[in-house]
Amino acid sequence: MSPTGTARYRRYRLLARTYPPGPRRAELLDTMLMVAEDTGRRRPSAREVANVLRHAPRARLGRPGNRLVVPVAIAVSILSGFVAASLTARAYGETDRPLPSTAEMAAIAEMVTPDVEDPPLQRHDQVFVNGNGEAQFGQVRYEVEYPGPMPDPCAYGAQGADRLTAAGWRLTPALDRTGPCVAETLTATRGGWVLTFGNYYDDTAPANGGWFDVSVRRTEPAAMPVGFAAGGLLGMVLGWFFAGWASRRTEHSTAASGALALLAIVAAGNSALLINFVVRDYLTIIDQGFSFHEGPIWSWTVLGDEGMLLLFPTILATVAAAVILAATRQPRGTAPRRVADRSTLTRVGWPLTLVTFGLGMLSACTGFGLFGCDLFVAALLMAIALTVHRMRNRPAAATPPPHPAG
């Protein structure tokens, strides 16, 4: 074969590999090479690429003639990625980094609100759920009324900002010190802490003054954005494979297939608002290094948080889908798919990987964040190694038995 022909074959073979292994892939490759030979084309055209990429995902999911299977699989993949990213972020976020001690918080209070003596401190070393059903960062805070008439909040905030800057705190974002105002909020960071100072003024009753709300919490770990993205990508890949498995399991049951598609759409639609909120908060963390909200981006995973209540239809749809998949059986008379003999490494490795991943989730949900993060990484590396082992030891396709002579 000429060099041009070799390059042509490699290009078309790469495109054909988007289809699952089997006679359909070989037939597609032969047809495209035949057309390319007749037309003198050296590489696939844009129309050929688009057409193959439009149909290949359906074949990968086991439903070549179904147009709905790809959108449903994408919805499942996004939802799975969202859950995995949130759990990974929680594994990073639940650490034992210290909050300010009583003496350190008293020094901060003296710097931010010098007019207030001995403010009543409230300490929460871990994430907690407040009275409104909102999960909040672990923090040290105090809220006090201003002792007497309050000056211009912006001017007062500007003085506090100058003292914070002189002490090495970095204001984020820059404080706007112009114009009269009835409230002022500033945020500053230093040494892994985020300080939020709220200065509120009751303009309807100036003689009553106003109140201060000061809190110090931890910044997000530096590796959390990377872990969030890695966990999300891994979850999306697993969600895609799970959607393909579910598609093949229910391919002989129209009722089960339709019910699963409806449940996937309901789950994705219900969680779309929260996913959008979490992604926007994630981009803020990348830009600023911390979130401006009172709770972490994984707060919906905390038992009692209102986000979990918001996702109740999604949780219910997931449980219903699991019941349908468990109840679906392959009809009698259908030829079972040939399952290759698994090696000892595969038989032991995959259950061990699932156990490791489950322990990582359990650790993330019970406060052992660093240990859970290590388990997630170990499960990911084990899954990659087992996948590579399976690809390198994939058995050849079985030859169909000859027809008996009649």
DSSP string of 164-201, one letter each residue: HHHTT-EESS-----S--SEEEEEEEETTEEEEEEEEE
Question: Is the pLDDT score of 178 beyond 70?
Answer: no
What mean pLDDT is predicted for residues 294-323? 85
Convert the pLDDT of each residue in 338-388 to its tens digit. 444 556 777 777 778 777 776 766 665 554 555 666 676 677 777 777 776
Looking at the predicted structure, is the pLDDT value of residue 190 above 50?
yes
Q: Alpha-carbon distance 53 to 264, whole Å?
A: 23
CB–CB of 144/213 below 8 Å? no
* Residue 246 CA from chain centroid, whole number: 22
Higher pLDDT, 189 or 97: 189
Q: Rounded to whole angstroms, how far apart are CA atoms 54 and 33?
A: 19
Q: Are 263 and 243 in contact (CB under 8 A)?
A: no
pLDDT confidence of residue 339: 43
Find where tokens 């990377």 sit: 226
What tokens does 216 get?
Answer: 């110090």
3-state secondary structure (DSSP) of residue 240: helix
Q: How long is the chain? A: 406
CA neighbours closer than 13 Å in the CB half-sphere of residue 215:
20
pLDDT at 333 over 60: no
Give Cα 245 to chain centroid, integer Å. 22
**149 — pLDDT class (breaks 50, 70, 90):** low
Find the range with the poorest average confidence among 61-75, 118-132, 140-154, 186-200.
140-154
What sign does the CA torsion over 226, 228, 233, 235 have? positive
Is residue 359 helix, strand or coil? Answer: helix
Closest CA to 130 of 302, 346, 366: 302
Q: Which of 46, 13, 11 minimizes the C-alpha distance to 28?
A: 13
Phi-psi region of 191 (alpha: psi -120 to 50; beta: other; left: phi over 0): left
Q: What type of residue is 174?
A: A
- pLDDT score of 203: 60
Q: What is the DSSP letter of 67?
A: S
218 vs 125: CA distance, rounded Å: 10
138 phi and psi angles, rounded to 5 deg: -60, 135
Query: Region 158-163: what's the mean pLDDT?
Result: 84
Query: What's at 211, amino acid-wise?
Result: W
